[in-house]
Structure 1
Amino acid sequence: MTSDETPLRVGLFGLFGAGNSGNDGSLEAVLDHLRATRPGAAVDAMCGGPETVATRYGIPATRLNWYRGEYRTASRASAVAGKGLGKLVDVVRTAAWVRRHDAVIVPGTGVLETTLPLRPWGFPYSLFLLCLTGRLFGTRVALVSVGAGRIGNRPTRFLTRWSTRLAAYCSYRDVQSREAMRAMGVDTGRDEVYADLVFALPSPSANESAGLPGPVCVGVMDFHGSNDERDRAEEIHRRYLDGTTRFVRALVAEGRPVRLLTGDELDRPVAAAIVDAVGSPLVTVAEAASLADLMKETACADSVVATRYHNIVCALKTGTPTLALSYSAKSDAVMAEMGLGAYCHPVREADADRLLAQFRELERDSARLRRTLAERNLAVARRVEQQFTDLAAALFPAAGRTDAPRETT
């Protein structure tokens, strides 16, 4: 770039900096790639926690929503009015932010799924505004290695379908995500499947996991079911908490040290409840503030039993035998992809006895599984590298090239 050229302006869009380590890890993967391949680019973010993102990653950041209570339940008339006004203000704010960029990237995460409770006028609406204003102002919007699922709620399905149609580029982290969008009437003929962006992050050094026997890492989650299970949310949560607590208690009875992992600030009360219920010094909670911290924990473990998707990904990436307490098909998909498809347990059952039996089988098969994970990680790393190569070609094409809108069938 010569001194009189305007630097490339790239925006990163998502729920970063809001306490979810998986979202932040996806941001970090793309940011690392941009810094390595386009060091002259001006990069900033529109996100859920701008203060955290600006401090942690050193880039300018703008708040995703004008109304600060956007993701809190509105019980008072003033809060309802604030949310309503915020939807209008966000149209102008999003348009102004998008217009300043040559391209905007939505890095990974499950932005096209509703496996957890989600209101249509929350993030689905924000994503729709991004893709719509990107199309209007000629800013190329890319949904990169995203997760998707079949959506039952009509307003959410409408917003999600139109977001993918208006985006200039879309790729998925697994085949089932692409198939889910196709089943909802989206033309996915040009969309490729790669892998979760978190697999691009560096792993801990091998010597960090070598040596003395390690603990069992148990990743917990504030799980209350999916968007379509709101009427049974508390029942689902109680069953999950009870089953996980019984499993941890059984490990402690065998003298096994247990490290509880979280992936979101919402998970911390769940970890605290298990610690209190088991009442043993063998159970501790890891203070992991990032996916790098989580990977260090899983790399040092003998084995991992995890619920939250990116806890599972961290464990698989570090080559640690993993059992998934699976709450959605995305967990089953990544486990199968990494050769551990037999080690999934449905989270809505959380049967401590059967979970313990699966865990013992996992540990008996540990040596073979570690070899399998080493091989699969090499293949996945190559796919993520290819994703970045293809993304660059799509986002920064030769001058004069334009793309037609993505069609729905």
Structure 2
Amino acid sequence: MTPANRTPVRVGVFGLLGSGNLGNDGSLEAVLGYLRTAHPEAAVDALCGGPEAVTTRFGIPATRLHWYRGEYRTASRAGAIAGKGLGKLVDVFRTAAWVRRHDVVIVPGMGVLEATLPLRPWGFPYSLFLLCASGRLLRTRVALAGVGAAPIGDRPTRALVRWSARLAAYRSYRDAQSRDAMRAMGVDTARDEVYPDLAFALPAPRASAPPDPSAPPGPVCVGVMDFHGGNDDRARADEIYRRYLDGTIRFVRALVAEDRAVRLLTGDECDASVVAAILDAVGSPLVTAAEPSSLADLMKEMAAADTVVAIRYHNLICALKTGTPVLALCYAAKSDALMTEMGLGAFCHPAREVDADRLLEQFRALEKRSAELRRTLAERNLAAARRLDDQFNSLTAALFPATGRAHTSRRAP
């Protein structure tokens, strides 16, 4: 309880939240769970991409990240270009005014310090810089908690990301290579810690019994993505997409030929077109599509499967969290690092160069080692939960020193 004479701590959460990306919203859910357990007195609201969705789902007030409503549409006409330009100026004052109302702002996970997918410097990197600069000027503590980072080739984007990190009051990363990337970009990371991704703090569905080796093979979940490469791949984006899609279709057809049921999963609203293309190309009742609206939905699907093959980073986390053996189509080094950390480093396949025959070989090898890998994942998940308790205690010490309260674990049994 907050004493009557004390104003509740005002906490803001910031990011591309409520915009259709399940991984981003899962990171927010984990941080809200921490705040409600460790700091129930805190008054929490958001500055985010999809305020209506955040308020509806999470029950907190939310403000639109951008003044200009057409921010995410391509501007080709003079009016739209002028609107975007004006919006960048207005957002300076809007962001500062929002930051000023808070004691603490948390950026909950996400790959906010990377450009492994197409990204323009005047988009989210600019918004993040405004947040961190406002925090420094107005003495509001900004925390980049469990974020992802990667080397960035584009100089304006790299500069905005570097200065955002430098201006933040607290930084932690979801893997060691993220911290290394920020150090290489000139950020002093001596006091920065590495913890598992925040999504590992979410409750997982009760694990199902391991597959019976004498029973017929069970369903396979295939997580898909509207994948066109990264920031440096724009010249060959269509080629990368076609190769990824063709390889995935061939792989699904091979599973169907063996009478395996396949469940297609997404991680963002934009992935629906890929699901439709696979369903149309394969044309089998054995292939069905789920409509997940959260990481919890994804975990339920994956817990019921024998095996998972996935490309999106948080789809991989959901499979790992449920203890289901997973084969990763890796589009960035973060996926390789995650799989290695969880003991499945041998089961990675390049998303830009999908070879259906090689993918099928790896899939069969994965299934042969299913029982062993499930035991490994159970051990690694326990270790991840302990490390995330440390992450939340670190956040409390850095951002809420007056409360003197440590985080209490709420691990699912």
Report the TM-score range of the alignment, normalised by the length of the smaller protein: over 0.9
Q: How does 1:44-193 map to 2 (within 5 A)?
A: 44-193=45-194
Contact kept, 8 Å, 2:208 with 2:304, in 1: the verdict is no
1:228-284, CA deviations, whole angstroms, 9 ceiling, x for partnerless residues?
110100000000000000000000010000000100001000011000000000001
Greater shift after overlay, 69-78 or 154-163? 69-78
Contact kept, 8 Å, 2:208 with 2:303, in 1: the verdict is no
1:319-362, CA deviations, whole angstroms, 9 ceiling, x for partnerless residues?
00000000000000110000000000001110000000000000
State the partner residue of 1:248: 252
Contact kept, 8 Å, 1:174 with 1:195, in 2: the verdict is yes
Aligned amino acid, residue 288 of structure 2: T
Aligned amino acid, residue 251 of structure 2: F
Answering whether residue 369 of structure 2 is matched by residue 365 of structure 1, we say yes
State the partner residue of 1:405: none
Greater shift after overlay, 83-92 or 201-210? 201-210
State the partner residue of 1:404: none
Please give the TM-score of this superposition, normalised by the length of structure 1.
Answer: 0.96
Gaps of 5+ in 1: 400-409
State the partner residue of 2:410: none
Aligned residues: 399
Cα distance in 2 for residues equivalent to 1:178 and 1:343: 24
Contact kept, 8 Å, 2:299 with 2:319, in 1: the verdict is yes
1:4-58, CA deviations, whole angstroms, 9 ceiling, x for partnerless residues?
2101100000101000000000000000110111111100000000000000000
1:99-124, CA deviations, whole angstroms, 9 ceiling, x for partnerless residues?
00000000001000000000000000
Q: How does 1:230-269 map to 2 (within 5 A)?
A: 230-269=234-273
Cα distance in 2 for residues equivalent to 1:73 and 1:149: 26
Cα distance in 2 for residues equivalent to 1:339 and 1:124: 33
1:61-94, CA deviations, whole angstroms, 9 ceiling, x for partnerless residues?
0000111111221111111111100000100100
Helix, strand or coil for the counterpart of 1:221? Answer: coil
Aligned amino acid, residue 39 of structure 1: P
Please give the TM-score of this superposition, normalised by the length of structure 2.
Answer: 0.95
Contact kept, 8 Å, 1:111 with 1:148, in 2: the verdict is yes
Helix, strand or coil for the counterpart of 1:67? Answer: coil
State the partner residue of 2:345: 341
Cα distance in 2 for residues equivalent to 1:206 and 1:301: 11
1:136-160, CA deviations, whole angstroms, 9 ceiling, x for partnerless residues?
1110000000000000001100000
Cα distance in 1 for residues equivalent to 2:89 and 2:73: 18
Q: Tell me the C-alpha RMSD between the 2 structures.
A: 1.3
State the partner residue of 1:407: none
Aligned amino acid, residue 287 of structure 1: E
Cα distance in 2 for residues equivalent to 1:71 and 1:48: 10
Identity %: 76
Report how far residue 207 of structure 1 moved: 4.6
Helix, strand or coil for the counterpart of 2:353? Answer: coil
Cα distance in 2 for residues equivalent to 1:145 and 1:206: 26
Report how far residue 313 of structure 1 moved: 0.5
Specify which of 294, 299, 311 is matched with residue 298 of structure 2: 294
Cα distance in 2 for residues equivalent to 1:207 and 1:350: 31
Q: Which runs of 4+ in 1 moved over 3 A?
A: 207-214
Cα distance in 2 for residues equivalent to 1:138 and 1:398: 16
Cα distance in 2 for residues equivalent to 1:339 and 1:347: 20
Helix, strand or coil for the counterpart of 1:206? Answer: coil
Aligned amino acid, residue 68 of structure 2: Y
Contact kept, 8 Å, 1:11 with 1:45, in 2: the verdict is yes
Cα distance in 1 for residues equivalent to 2:322 and 2:273: 26
Report how far residue 398 of structure 1 moved: 4.7
State the partner residue of 1:389: 393
